[in-house]
Amino acid sequence: TGSAAQGTNQTTAPTAMTLSDAGTVSAERTAVYNGTTAVGERIAQMERDLNQLTANVSELKSQLNAIRGNSAASATAYHTAKADITSRLQLGTTPGNPILVDQWNQAQTSLATVEQTIPALSSLHSKASDEAAFGKFLLSTVQATYGLSGAVDEDHARLRILEDSVYQSLVDLDRMLTSVTQEINRHNLYVSNERQNMTTLALGIKNGELYGTNIASRSFALVEAAAASQASSSAGISPNAEPLVIIRFDRDNVPYQQALYNAVSQALTAKPDAVFDLVAVSPNGGNAAQVALNGSAARRNAEDVLRTLTDMGVQPGRINLLADTRNTAQNEVHLYVR
């Protein structure tokens, strides 16, 4: 009995809860976490990457504005000189008038400056593509970080802000890529037509007569108008229509050119006045942002195919560029013939 009493007297009062072997959370550790987690350090690095991406996008926008400004100034100078020559020829002048020859040389120099815009735009497009690739990598890294253990609520709040900001940068880059692609196409067509017109204008100066626009340019415009009229008379692609070509962009640098050339050549041999529908097909799955990004990527792919077709000699007025969303696993481009 004495032994039992002695044991009772030795019993101490309960102490504050401590971390048990089973992993019970300590009452002393329930306060708000004020330290830096490993996930937080990872987020900080991604925030620095985003700042660099944002700065690069801003620089690309500035470069694009500068290119556009130089191109517009050169185009204005070109058309001013060309208008002066045309006006003088229309009123009548001597063959080989040296004043008109000087003006023609000035116009030629201005047109050459406009033409230099094309490689500048192509270089900018390449840089923007690189930034877009990095942005997509950064976005996937941000999304993967959500699944890491050891994060606190504040880390996930920063991740959400970071994810939204990366999305916005990708949208800006996507718009820039689409715009630059369209400008390259317009500049190529514009310079090609004006080169032909300058050749005709040189002949007019030599003979002191006004001939008008180049015959090739005029014929092209008529064919383009006729093709557009034919395209507008159609109610669109038949639901049962089979594509002439399906190009699946499931990897980088898809080698579609030879197959496309063979198919289009056969179609034009069978029907010389054929009109083509080029459809950018993107997956309809995912959230709204993913659908938008996929749609933009599909349109860029279709624009690349369009450039390939025009390089092959298909007149742009005979190609209708369309877009659609379907239940596909990757971006595709479908070519229909009518």
User: What's 82-146 look like in SS3?
Assistant: HHHHHHHHHHCCCCCCHHHHHHHHHHHHHHHHHHCHHHHHHHHHHHHHHHHHHHHHHHHHHHHHC
Residue 261 located in a structural domain: yes
Same domain for 93 and 183, yes or no, is yes
Q: How confident is the model at residue 233, as a pLDDT?
A: 41
238 in any annotated domain: yes
SS3 (DSSP) at 208:
coil
162 pLDDT above the threshold of 70: yes
Closest alpha carbon to 305 in 275, 334, 268: 334
Same domain? For 76 and 199 the reply is yes
Does one domain contain both 185 and 91? Answer: yes
Calpha distance 223→215 (Å, rounded): 12
Q: Which of 44-58, 156-170, 255-269 has the lowest mean pLDDT?
A: 255-269
Tokens (6 digits) for 6: 């002695």
Q: Are residues 67 and 161 in the same domain?
A: yes
Q: What span, in angstroms and rounded, lies between the C-alpha atoms of 298 and 325? A: 10
Q: What CATH number corresponds to the domain at position 306? A: 3.30.1330.60
pLDDT digits (tens, 9 = 90+) for 123-136: 999 999 999 999 99
- pLDDT tens sequence across 310-337: 767 788 788 888 988 888 888 999 999 9
Q: Is residue 139 domain-resident? A: yes
Does residue 223 sit within a domain?
A: no
Query: Of 213, 248, 263, which one is at a domain's C-terminal end?
Result: 213
303: in domain = yes
The domain spanning residue 208 has which CATH number?
1.20.1050
Q: Which residue type occupies 110?
A: S
DSSP codes, 13-53: PP------TT-PPPGGG-SPP-S--HHHHHHHHHHHHHHHH
**Mean pLDDT value across residues 229-253:** 72
pLDDT band at 35 (very low <50, low <70, confident <90, very high): low
- Is 207 found in the same domain as 292? no
The pair of three-digit structure tokens given for residue 240, joined into one six-digit string: 């049962």
Query: Does residue 18 lie in a domain region?
Result: no
Q: What is the DSSP letter of 168?
A: H
- Has residue 255 got a pLDDT over 70? yes
What domain range is 148 assigned to?
A: 37-213
The whole-number pLDDT of residue 211 equals 62
- Number of domains within the chain: 2
Tell me the pLDDT band of 304, cut-offs 50, 70 and 90.
confident
Residue 30 corresponds to which tokens in the numbers above? 């329930």
250 and 209, same domain (yes or no)? no
More confident residue, 211 or 76: 76
* Token code pair at residue 300: 């860029």
